[in-house]
Chain A
Amino acid sequence: MRKTLLSTAVLSLFAGALAADDASMQAEIDALMQKVQKLEQQQKRTNKKLSQVNAQSANDNVKFGLDFRNAVDVIDYRNNDADTYATNPSLLTSRLYLTMGAAPTEGLTFQGKLAVYSTWGSHLYVTDPALKDWAASSKASDTVMRIKEAYFVYSDELGGQPVSVSVGRRPSTNGFLANYRENEADPGSPLAHITNMEVNGAMVRLDWSRFIDGAYTKFVFGRAHSGEMQDVYGDVSGARMPYALSGGDVNTTLEDTSVDFFVMPGNAYDDGQYHVMYQWAHIFNTKGMKLDGNIPKAASGSADLFSVGLKVSGIGEEISDFLDETTLFVSGAYTHYDAKNGYTLLGSADGGSRSGSSVWAGIIIPDMLTERGRLGFEYNHGSKYWTPMNWAEDTAIGSKLAVRGNAYEAYWNFDLFGVKYLPSQIRYTYVQHDYTPNINCAGWVAPVKTDITATDLRLAVTYRY
């Protein structure tokens, strides 16, 4: 009995002690839980704040990027008819793009690109005739910083239809398919086969992707050339220009009037593997020859340019890594120049027309040596009157896409030292001109049979971030 009482007393003591321990432990757990909850709340607040700071630092201000390329071009021209040649063993150039972007609110963005593209040891300011506004930052010249792109885009929906509008200096160079040879991941806006120029314009974009994968159409109206100005104050120094021509913008003695264009580029289909793009461009008052007085650069008629391109990103469906990473493309294009009565275009008859065509094919494959390196091979063929608007194309020997003859190109795009911020390129371009090259706005020049070869070996290293 005594033993039982003792045992009961001991057990009671233990139970009491355990109960006391449980209570204190529970209290501790509760306190810890409260602390954890507080910490979780703090963490949530910190994360939220950090996201706001992230968004604010990038969204509410202009975000800058850099693209700084240094290149050496080894150039060789040979006129096989005249048995003459010209070479440049080392054209050294530096190109700096300062890119800008801002998105102050949803649906409204700004994009800009300031550019310096200079030859080493260049003049401070170059005014060569070839250095027009349409190629100002795409051709190596001086050390002046110019605006290559500056535009804003506003996107909204109208009755369920996505719509974007944009005004400014357009991303109209290195467009669809040309971005591979330029070692750029994203193409510019137009189809490079017929349009590769720096231009200003206003754009409306309608998205059709509700109906067809990736489909959209852009409607762009812009100006590619402004007519000359004349002094109406009798000031012979020409210091006071009124932004106007006597007699208006047409039928002046100078005949150098503004050139406007309407362009309609778009995606016909894009599912990520198969991508079809199209473009129609209509140029009002393109430059040609006025027969009365043989005045060149006259507003001589219109031009229409068409192009359709297919890009295949990845051959088959996961057959092999090599085929998955292979890109194929082919593009066809057609140009038609139509002169007014009393004028000629590209050597046409009075009021006649000239048509030309071109094909462009390419393949880009993994280099099998480096992680992201790619080898590219391209071929171009253009007919006698093939005349696209490609004067800002960044090939030191002139546009190879505009070749009236054949062009072959091979390039290796790789990351120097394996650093993705140092994209680099070795590129070799061979161009055989069978007819007068289309190297500038020169609709008054009739293409004639030639035999000129031009080659360009470019080695380029870029810092891009």
Chain B
Amino acid sequence: MTTFGKLTTSALLGLGLLTTSLYADADKGQRLYQKKLKATCGMTGAVFAAKHTQMEWEEAKESGNLAEMMTEACPEGKSFFESGKFKSKFEEHLYDFVHDFASDSGNIPSC
């Protein structure tokens, strides 16, 4: 490898490791919905997310009622939304997903 290549690789390797921020992941939320809820809820993730507006999802999250609101949108998923794992592992990602595809998000499904 040339010096140029080595230098660039080293720089990117170093910069890539400067990843300190933690954040939820809408893509992961979408996968989680598809894997764990789609069959149970009987609707696509896009339909589920569009049950509420972005502000309604936000308010539910801030007031700690996200599980209740999601249960309202998908009663069959009650046990999932009330589980400990939902709160500890899935809530952030699912929230990011439903917020991204809320009824007033303007996000457009692909082909």
B: contact size bracket: 35 or more
Q: With an 8 A cutoff between CB atoms, is A115 at the interface?
A: no
A146 to chain B, nearest CB (A): 19
Q: With an 8 A cutoff between CB atoms, is A284 at the interface?
A: no
Q: Give chain B residues whose Cβ lies under 8 Å from the Cβ of A459.
A: 5, 8-9, 12
Instruction: List 6 tightest A-B contacts by C-beta distance, closest first.
Output: A58-B106, A272-B35, A418-B19, A272-B34, A54-B104, A370-B19
Which of B2, B19, B20, B27 is close to A414, meaning CB atoms less than 8 Å apart?
Answer: B19
Q: Which of B2, B54, B104 is packed against the most chain A CB atoms within 10 Å?
A: B104
Q: Give chain A residues whose Cβ lies under 8 Å from the Cβ of B104.
A: 51-52, 54-55, 58
* A59 engages B35 (CB within 8 Å): no
* A417 engages B19 (CB within 8 Å): yes
- What 1/0 flags go to A395-429 for Cβ under 8 Å of B? 00000000000000000101111111000101000
Q: Give chain A residues whose Cβ lies under 8 Å from the Cβ of B38.
A: 213, 271-272
* B106 engages A51 (CB within 8 Å): no
A333 to chain B, nearest CB (A): 22
* B27 engages A51 (CB within 8 Å): no
A52 to B39, CA, bound (A): 31
Q: Give chain B residues whose Cβ lies under 8 Å from the Cβ of A186.
A: 110
Q: Give chain B residues whose Cβ lies under 8 Å from the Cβ of A426.
A: 9, 12-13, 16
A366 to chain B, nearest CB (A): 12
Since A101-B108, A214-B34, A373-B16 are in contact, a sample of 20 more A-B pairs with Cβ atoms closer than 8 Å, ordered by chain A residue number, is: A47-B56, A51-B53, A51-B55, A55-B103, A58-B106, A63-B106, A72-B5, A109-B109, A153-B111, A171-B111, A213-B39, A271-B38, A272-B32, A272-B36, A370-B16, A370-B17, A371-B19, A371-B23, A417-B18, A459-B8
* A415 engages B19 (CB within 8 Å): yes
Q: Which residue of B lies closest to A48 (CB)?
A: B53
B-contacting residues, A228-287, CB 8 Å: 270-273
Q: With an 8 A cutoff between CB atoms, is A224 at the interface?
A: no
* B106 engages A54 (CB within 8 Å): yes
A-contacting residues, B24-65, CB 8 Å: 25, 27, 31-36, 38-39, 53-56
Q: Give chain B residues whose Cβ lies under 8 Å from the Cβ of A170.
A: 111
